[in-house]
Structure 1
Amino acid sequence: MRVVVDLSRCQGYAQCAFLAPDAFRMHGEEALMYAPNPDDAQREQVLRAAAACPLQAILVDRVDGPDTSVGTSPS
């Protein structure tokens, strides 16, 4: 799983830090720090945190490893 936060949109409401404290934390009162590749065990918490962001500044991508289907055709 890959997490990207648009820090120009983030206003420091800290809902993500409350819901997924192992993946998101506030540094001071306004600066958000986050894990770009959180553990899959945190998946549900991270998804809830992204959904709770009032500004929708958090994007979560599912990463399953290399995509072996790109550029290949069935024989």
Structure 2
Amino acid sequence: MQVCVKLFGTLSNQWPDYDHEKGLIIELPEGAIINDLINSLKLGSSRIGMVCINNQKVNPDDTLIAEAEISIFQPICGG
């Protein structure tokens, strides 16, 4: 299945040609979960603050949806 991944903050730095409007199209097997996607992107869980599927916050063990837009945010702090 394919998903569209949008990376926020500095997460996109490892892809020099990353297009912030188009994101990345990633191919994963049916039944893949969020952690499978994170591992395939080699982002490391410590760099991930929040993940959304179609604008809904999800957990690392939630199943991906084919053709979904996955937004991945780095941890954010401040006051």
Same fold, TM-score > 0.5, yes or no: no
TM value normalised by structure 1: 0.30
Which structure has more strand as a fraction of its residues? 2
Larger Rg: 1
